[in-house]
Amino acid sequence: MVDNSVYMKKVQDEADKLLPELKKAKDEIGLNPELGSEEEKSSALLVEILRGHGFEVEYPFFGMHTAFKAVRKGKESGPVIAICAEYDALPGIGHGCGHNIIGTAGVGAGIAVSKLLDELPGEVWVIGTPAEEGHGPHGGSKVRMAAQGVFEGVDVSYMVHPMTGTSMVTGNFLAVTGITLEFKGKTAHAAADAHNGQNALNAAVLTYMAIHANRQQLKRDANAVVHGIITEGGLANNIIPDKAVLRFGVRSSDDTYIPHLIEMVVNSAKGAALATSCELEYTVSAGLKSNLQNDGLEKLFIKTFEALDHEYVDPVAVAKMPPGGSTDFADVTHVVAAIHPMIGLGHKGVAMHSKDFADVSMTPEGDKGLEVGVKALAMASVELLTNPETLAAIKAEFESRRLN
């Protein structure tokens, strides 16, 4: 056993010193929400803070103008910890997913740990990862970062995400893929000349209903979710619509079930196109994976939550819950030992992805969530930088799960 209690105390003291600066940044990003791939001010603010505390920052990074990679090296080579930061908002809702807390917690944890690196070996990185919510050209940036070597040389990666209710050290995330369906028909006067039209909106509505008709036949143990909207369906009610567009998401806890769900959605659209004499064009996005678990990292965050006297849901109970959302961080869990703890802000009953949750991120509970996030990430990092046994076990578990 390594006694790292001095460093644990020190990193929490450093976190406390940083909290006023971090809280200000969290609120500033919260009040000025920027959509994914457009997070210019938010990324610039986080980079400014990191540079102010002596980090070497590459910005822009990875060919994305709102991505960054901040590095602070220790007294000698050792474990490399990569903390991910997100800072994108939702259209029409602002920070309804609380990414203003994620970005500032990740940056704060990196800085708190960096203050110990004159005495410790290793490196801490803070990677700014744009557009987690999928908006714009950098949508799901961690998928490409994970696939294209950004995490090469990293021993462990993590981030924290706020939620309503009570914290969870881990969770199950669904694989997800997006499908855009576009129907082309022919305009005509809706009354006088309707027989000369080809109604693209009818194709869209039939597609929507055909997908509903398929739900009963979905595999129940695959946690399949199919959700969609019609984004275009005509311009005036006296014109037969010649264009209609649907956007669907298909999710499952079983990555191998996703192709089946894509086929079901596309076949529904093909049938509707045939029925209405419209033409169908569709695109399927690259998608996000489901996440690989790591019990060692789970235990490490339980230990930090307990040291912080922070309440969390029993992981056995969490494992029995149906998986909820998806995250591009799941792709990171396939290339490096990684974990994505959820920090509960209370306010049970408030929905995620709502304006109400954006408001929660600005309350004292939001401030507390930021503090817990910073400290949990920083203390986990201290353990990994000072205790080779903990790190080795976590890495060995990752390797064995990756092969299975």
Beta strands in 235-349 (DSSP E): 243-252, 279-284, 337-339, 342-344
Secondary structure letter of residue 356 according to DSSP: H
- Shortest reach from residue 161's CB to Zn ion, in Å: 6
CB closer to Zn ion out of 204 and 374 = 374
Residue choice 70, 85, 97, 380 for contact with Zn ion (CB under 5 A): 97
Contact 197, 187 (CB under 8 A): yes
Q: Does 264 bind Zn ion (CB under 5 A)?
A: no
CB closer to Zn ion out of 97 and 261 = 97
DSSP for 165-209, written as a single string: BSBBS-----EEEEEEEEEE-B--BTTTTGGG-B-HHHHHHHHHH
As a whole number of angstroms, the distance between CA 30 and CA 359 comes to 9
Contact 222, 216 (CB under 8 A): no
Which residues neighbour 353 within 8 Å (Cβ) at sequence distance 6 or greater? 90, 93, 96, 97
**Window of 94-102, 116-124, 232-240, 383-391 that interacts with Zn ion by CB under 5 A:** 94-102
CB closer to Zn ion out of 97 and 113 = 97
- Shortest reach from residue 253's CB to Zn ion, in Å: 18
> Which candidate, 270, 266, 287, 288, places its Cα nearest to that of 279?
270
**Window of 34-42, 93-101, 137-145, 250-258 that interacts with Zn ion by CB under 5 A:** 93-101
Residues in contact with Zn ion, counted by CB under 5 A, come to a total of 1
- Shortest reach from residue 321's CB to Zn ion, in Å: 18
CB closer to Zn ion out of 97 and 112 = 97
- Shortest reach from residue 94's CB to Zn ion, in Å: 12
Beta strands in 233-335 (DSSP E): 243-252, 279-284
- Shortest reach from residue 10's CB to Zn ion, in Å: 31
**Window of 90-98, 109-117, 149-157, 247-255 that interacts with Zn ion by CB under 5 A:** 90-98
Question: Which residue's Cβ lies closest to Zn ion?
Answer: 97
Chain centroid to Cα 135, Å, comes to: 12
CB closer to Zn ion out of 96 and 241 = 96
- Shortest reach from residue 142's CB to Zn ion, in Å: 12
Contact 127, 85 (CB under 8 A): yes
CB closer to Zn ion out of 97 and 181 = 97
Give the footprint of Zn ion on this chain (CB under 5 A): 97
